[in-house]
Structures are given as C-alpha cells and as structure tokens.
Homo-oligomer: A and B are copies of this chain.
C-alpha cells in the first residue's frame, strides 16, 4: 500500500539543504545591523558546511548533522553553546536526528554536559538499540562512546543569565529568542520568542534526513521535555515523503504531532509538500494557538519554510544554484 522505495540506485544531481535557527518575535526594528549580519553569516556558514557534504556525494544525515554542529557551536542560537538557562540556572539540552532511508532515529533529552547534543543523538541512533535516552543516563552513554564532555562553565553566557534573572522576576516561563536589542527591557519577554536550530536535507542518493537541537525554554522547570527530541513532533524524515524540523512552542508541536503530520498529509492525502507544511503551521497550529514554524524538504528537492510568528532565522541552498538566507517576514 505504501512504498518505502528509496531510489538508492538513481544518482541524481538534485540535492538541497534547508536550515533554521529558531522562530519568534524577530523584528528588523529590534535588531542592530551588526547583529543581523552576525546571524546571516553564521546561517550561511551552517548552510555551506552541509551543502558541501551533499555536493561531494555525502549523505543527507552527515549534512544535517554538520549544519547543526555549526549552529550548536555558536552562542547566537539556543542550542549547544548558546543554550538558555533552566530555573535552576543549569542548561538542559535536547536533540534528535532521523534518517529517512532507514526510518532509524536517535534522540537525547535533558543533557547538561555534552558539547554537541546532535552528535550524541546520532550515536544513539547508530550505536544503541534505543531511540531516546535522557538525563544522566544519556551522559553515561556519551562517555562510553567518547563524546566530548564539557562542564557547565562552557555554557556560561551573561546574556542568557540576564534573560533568566529577568524572567524569574516576572515568574513566567519564557521561550527563546529574546529581542536582542530589548534585552534590557523586561517587557520584551512578554513576546513569545523561540530558539532551537534545525536542518533537513536531500542528498544525491535520494535520501532524506532531519535534525533538531535546542536548549529548551528559559526558566524551564521540572525536567520539561519539549518537541525537539521527540520523533514525530519536532523531527521526522522518511524517503517516501519528506524531512521536517520544527521550532516553536513545543507543547503545541507535541499535541499536533507536527513533523509527522506534514508527512502524513503528503502520503495519505497526496498533498504537495508546501501545501502540507502551510496547512499544518498556518491553519492547524494557529487554530490551537501554537506559535512557531518548520522547515521541510521532499524527495524531489522541493522545500517549505512556513512560520506563523514575526520571523524565523532560515536559509536554503539547492543544487540548482538557488540560495537564500532570511530572517524576517517577506
């Protein structure tokens, strides 16, 4: 009934990568030109690093991992190095990755001493019989597999600590991104702002992959797990349909099983990628009040980057030569 054919033997020159660095109340008026340039340059670097892998015949899974690594190592995004603080002034990071060829996947939730959670998610996918590991147990697994561990000082970030302290005053759980320019203004936190980085890719072998990494919500408590490490909610890839990575108010993405929903609409309702993605983000999520966006790519290299917030850090690069980095609504 449903075909998982992967066209592995057909080497095509049609490949592409799409990335995001979070969606939220991202407005040009709140951003300095220097800050805008910094985001554009880092997004370009992430995009180029993944694209180079694809161009050289590498796998979609390698490309998405590499693009995420670049963003995890930058303090600009709420993932890896730039992760926001929990209520306890710790950092608890989540990540997941899925291979559209095998439907295999790996995810980690609530890790505090892993430099690159996306690397750990990939090792979970490839070296464990599990999909999702959490907390200290996930870190024990990381040590066994020689992943780079860091102490909490690695995540030290005065800007993020200021975010936490301000929001603690307002006692409001807060999603990232802050308006960079308004960080001195507690009222700016009234806006929903989201972090999270993600990447999806189609390689020359016709394989799709998706990956997502996040530091979660500023001031989060109680070991909260959002959609980013949940296969089907924040991340999904299947060669038969598409690869998807989400960013936004995670609870709504979980309830709507957003990443898989895009694939299901394509597979079961024969919707085009862009229609399925738009329908989920701009109709279904909006109906429930769920803010955010997603990036998606299908097996033909069509892409979609819908969001229902003011902006979303995003970019794509296709083998056709088309490429763009975007931040605000067009």
Contacts and interface: CB of A to CB of B under 8 A. Distances in A.
Contacts of A1: 279, 283
Contacts of A114: none
A288 B136 CA distance: 30
Nearest to A224: B130
A269 interface: yes
A161 interface: no
Which interface class (under 10, 10 to 19, 20 to 34, 35 or more) fits A? 35 or more
Contacts of A269: 268-269
A255 B4 CA distance: 14
Interface string A212-235: 000000000111111000111100
A231 B231 contact: no
Contact of A222 (B2, B110, B130): B130
Interface string A107-119: 0011000000000
A261 interface: yes
28 contacts: A1-B279, A103-B288, A109-B225, A110-B134, A129-B251, A130-B222, A130-B224, A130-B251, A132-B254, A134-B135, A134-B223, A134-B225, A135-B135, A136-B223, A137-B222, A137-B223, A137-B224, A141-B221, A230-B230, A230-B231, A230-B232, A231-B257, A232-B260, A236-B257, A257-B257, A261-B264, A264-B268, A268-B269
